[in-house]
Amino acid sequence: MALIVHKYGGTSMGSTERIRNVAKRVAKWVRAGHQLVVVPSAMSGETNRLLGLAKELAPAKQGDAYQRELDMLASTGEQVSVGLLAIALQAEGLEAVSYAGWQVPVLTNSAYTKARIESIDDARVRADLEAGKVVVITGFQGVDAGGNITTLGRGGSDTSAVAVAAALKAAECLIYTDVDGVYTTDPRVVPEARRLATVSFEEMLEMASMGSKVLQIRSVEFAGKYRVPLRVLSSFTPWDIPIDEESRSGTLITFEEDEQMEQAVVSGIAFNRDEAKVSILGVPDKPGIAYNILGAVAEANIEVDVIIQNISKDGKTDFSFTVHRNDYARTVDLLKSKVAPTLGTDRIEGDTRICKVSIVGIGMRSHVGIAAKMFRALSEEGINIQMISTSEIKTSVVIDEKYMELAVRALHRAFDLDQQQA
């Protein structure tokens, strides 16, 4: 008997019929002797629908003013899901109880719409499990110290599930989703993409941070920090497939590097179109400038990704960085109103039509010339590189978004990803 956490995404929760299937699958695990905690997302499309209603009432630009209320609103999608799922489980003959985040409680900080989990009280959940109940906990939402409802950012149910698994020291966290695992890249862009049987936690972190929408990045960080055994698998298999087959399917996130060493140098190509580039031109090249610019941006709770500073000419330099597209307007406003005046420039430029493409692999640590191979593949396609950033296990480039698919295909081919065995 093991304590297992299941997470079901919006597609799996998309209709009462699908919820019934989830309940049957969970029941199968319970009848095999396991203790189950289930963390569902909102029914597919629901979070978008709710946020759309808010947008009808107030333009996005004023977003800052009603962040607390956005969380109050958006969190309701998950509340519907836990209620329905607990009912479906009871209809399957199981004992089940549903909880909203504040009832557990899942304590978070107060950064509305992107709150971080601080702690999860396991007492109530444990007592229910001991009493033989299936516990169904809302994904995505929590509560801050002041009793305000918070949400964890889009895709945050993954993080809820992993955090619950960590708090309960669960044997495994299974993320059921509408893809059957982690791929070398998005199969919609490269039909030859292959599923990876295992992927290291660090690679997964890079892929998640760069747009592989399979898992929310914070969930991967959480899994790494607490070493939560994590598997991504399909929710479209028949609910009654044998448990041992189900437990071997999908992609396992591993923590053992050695297992991976035999594998490809590059494991995957990640890409995203979620970022925008901002440049501040003609700033004085002297100590404190980067802090001046990025300190103000960080203070506004805006995350920065790729950063470059050009060499200086006549004591002046240009400074560029990328932010999430949702933060683009806010960043430009901030630079114009607060930062530029202190630096003696008013030249702010921006571009939202960029994308970031990355090659990822822990094998890159022990191999040289990987980045050069990437740049060659891109140059052969005539693709101009605007920014570059590297880490031990990845190289990313920022390019014009219209070349994204071309770049991803070229890199997938250049690193033979269509060919190796997973």
Binding site for ligand ASP (CB under 6 A): 10, 41-42, 47, 77, 139-140, 154-158
Q: How far apart are CA 182 and CA 310, in angstroms?
A: 37
- Nearer to ligand ASP (CB atom), residue 42 or residue 85: 42
- Nearer to Mg ion (CB atom), residue 159 or residue 358: 159
Residue 244 beta carbon to Mg ion: minimum distance, rounded to whole angstroms = 26
- Nearer to ligand ASP (CB atom), residue 10 or residue 181: 10
139 binds Mg ion (CB under 5 A): no
- Nearer to ligand ASP (CB atom), residue 47 or residue 251: 47
**Choice from 77, 139, 142, 155 touching Mg ion (CB under 5 A):** 155
CA nearest to 98, candidates 21, 38, 161, 169:
38
Residue 81 beta carbon to ligand ASP: minimum distance, rounded to whole angstroms = 9
* Interface stretch with Mg ion, choices 139-147, 152-160, 218-226, 411-419 (CB under 5 A): 152-160
Question: How far out from the chain centre does Cα 252 lie?
Answer: 16
Residue 160: both structure tokens together: 């809820």
The percent of the chain in helix, strand and coil, each rounded to the nearest 5, is 40, 25, 35
Q: Which does 249 bind (CB under 5 to 8 A by kind): ligand ASP, Mg ion, none?
A: none
SS3 state of residue 152: coil
Residue 41 beta carbon to ligand ASP: minimum distance, rounded to whole angstroms = 3
- Residue nearest to Mg ion according to CB distances in the complex: 155
Residues composing the chain: 422
- Nearer to ligand ASP (CB atom), residue 92 or residue 158: 158
Q: Which does 209 bind (CB under 5 to 8 A by kind): ligand ASP, Mg ion, none?
A: none
Residue 112 beta carbon to Mg ion: minimum distance, rounded to whole angstroms = 20
Q: Which does 42 bind (CB under 5 to 8 A by kind): Mg ion, ligand ASP, none?
A: ligand ASP
Q: Which does 272 bind (CB under 5 to 8 A by kind): Mg ion, ligand ASP, none?
A: none
- Nearer to ligand ASP (CB atom), residue 222 or residue 415: 222
Answer yes or no: are the C-beta atoms of 324 and 153 closer than 8 Å.
Answer: no
Q: How far apart are CA 4 and CA 29, in angstroms?
A: 9
- Nearer to ligand ASP (CB atom), residue 14 or residue 268: 14
Strands (E), 134-250: 134-137, 141-143, 149-151, 172-177, 182-183, 195-196, 198-200, 230-234
Query: Which residue carries 């440049």 as its tokens?
Result: 279
Query: Which residue carries 């203790």 as its tokens?
Result: 35
- Half-sphere exposure (Cβ direction) of 206: Cα atoms closer than 13 Å: 27
Q: How far apart are CA 69 and CA 180, in angstroms?
A: 35
Answer yes or no: are the C-beta atoms of 389 and 306 closer than 8 Å.
Answer: yes
Residue 394 beta carbon to ligand ASP: minimum distance, rounded to whole angstroms = 24
Binding site for Mg ion (CB under 5 A): 9, 155
